[in-house]
Amino acid sequence: MNVVIIDYNAGNIRSVDFALKRLGVNSEITNDINKIEKADKVIFPGVGEASSAMAYLKKYKLDEVIRGLKQPVLGICIGLQLMCSHSEEGDVECIGIFDEKVKLFDNMEKKALKVPQMGWNTINNVKGSLFDNSLEGNYVYFVHSYYAETGKNTVAETTYVNPFSAALQRDNFFATQFHPEKSGPVGAKILKNFIEL
């Protein structure tokens, strides 16, 4: 199986590669459009800032490439946010695969909750191809200051400051706000489910 991880100058990409290796899956980290388009599975992970990440994607036309992919695609963390319609981080239009918008946590009323959210939280109301009932209520690992609203593409929810999308799905596009590569056996199962789609 040919698995590609998109390299777009974002951080924390190699940890996904290591997580796949633990599952016995080899992947290639690349920004080569031809390799991305020919891959069996594409992963779009990373941490970073939305407007600068979108500027890089547009410069190399990777936004158009991602939007046009027909094979299973998994966005992780900022990958999920960039697949949404708009992000408040840098006030930037994103790739637009998901209609949901990305907003900054407003913890003015709940100052006990620190932003960014860093740590473990449960996923609830899970559905779709990445999840099964055994994953309902399990803990996964989040690191983020921005979140995607809940909407028609939401396939898992959680709450921190307010309810938000822990995962999104539309057609062949999947995305998690949490880091499956850092979420122990639960995250490994979700990655395995994606690889086996």
**Active centre residues (catalytic):** 77, 179, 181
DSSP secondary-structure letter at 134?
G
153, two tokens: 């593409």
Is 148:101 a contact under the CB 8 Å cutoff?
Answer: yes
Contacts of 172 (CB under 8 A, 6+ apart): 69, 70, 71, 72, 73
Find, among 160, 163, 48, the residue nearest to 107 by Cα. 160
> How many whole angstroms separate alpha carbon 52 and alpha carbon 10?
10
Find, among 197, 190, 179, 188, the residue nearest to 22 by Cα. 188
